[in-house]
Structure 1
Amino acid sequence: MNAPSTPQITLYTSAVCGYCVAAKNFLKSRGLAWNEVRIDTDPAEREKMVALARRTSVPQIFIGDTHVGGYDDMMALHRAGKFEPLLSGESG
C-alpha cells in the first residue's frame, strides 16, 4: 500500500553553465531533489548523456526515463501544465 514514488530527476550539467544553475534554482524553488551528473568531470557520463538525449548541450533533464530536454524545454512544460504530471509519474 505504498504511495507511488516520485520519479528520479536527473540533471546532466557542467560547472560553467548558467542554464544549469537556473534549472537547479527552479527545482529547488519547487522543493524537489535531483541527481546531478557532471559531464565536464566524467567523459563517460557525457557520452551516456549524448546517447540518451541526442543532444550535446547542458543541462539535459530527465524525469524518470522521460527526457525533458534543457532548461527552456522544462520551463515550457511547466507553463503548459505538463511538468507536474511527469513528477507524479504520469507519462505525457
Structure 2
Amino acid sequence: MPNVVIYATSSCPYCMMAKRLFDGKGVAYQIIDVGNDSQKWADMEAKSGRNTVPQVYIGDQHIGGFDDLSAADKRGEIDPLLQA
C-alpha cells in the first residue's frame, strides 16, 4: 500500500473529514501539520501548487483537497490507488 500523506492544520474541518474518509477505509496516513510552521506551509505550496489545506497525496500522486478527494472516492478512483 502506498503512503498516504495529508498536509493539514489541527483546526481545519476539511482536514478532519479527509482523515475520517481514510479512517473509514482502515488506511493509515501521515499528517504533516503545517498550521504553525511557515516553512512546512511553503513546502506544501511548492509541492502542490495550492495554498489551502488539506492537501492529500497517495504515493506520489497529488489528489488535491478534500473536495477533490471526496469526488475521486465517489468515482471509485481512490481504492485502486490505495491497492497499488
Q: Distance in 1 between matches of 2:83 and 2:36?
A: 31
Q: Does 1:30 align with 2:25?
A: yes
The TM-score with structure 2 as length reference comes to 0.95
The TM-score with structure 1 as length reference comes to 0.87
Q: Distance in 2 between matches of 1:78 and 1:45?
A: 27
State the Cα RMSD in Å.
Answer: 0.8
* Residue identity (%): 35
Q: Distance in 1 between matches of 2:76 and 2:46?
A: 28
Q: Tell me how far 1:41 sits from its aligned partner.
A: 2.2
Q: Distance in 1 between matches of 2:60 and 2:46?
A: 13
2:76 is aligned, of 78, 81, 88, to: 81
Report the residue type matching 2:11 in the other structure. V
Tell which structure's C-alpha radius of gyration is larger: 1
Q: Tell me how far 1:42 sits from its aligned partner.
A: 1.9
2:62 is aligned, of 67, 70, 75, to: 67
**Higher normalized helix content (fraction of residues):** 2
Q: Does 1:41 align with 2:24?
A: no
- The one-character-per-residue Cα deviations of 1:14-54 (angstroms, maximum 9, x if unpaired) are 12100001111111011011000011122211111101110
User: Any idea what SS the aligned residue of 1:40 has?
Assistant: coil
Unaligned 5+ runs, structure 1 = 1-5
Unaligned 5+ runs, structure 2 = none
Q: Does 1:51 align with 2:46?
A: yes
Find runs of 4+ consecutive structure 1 residues off by over 6 angstroms.
none
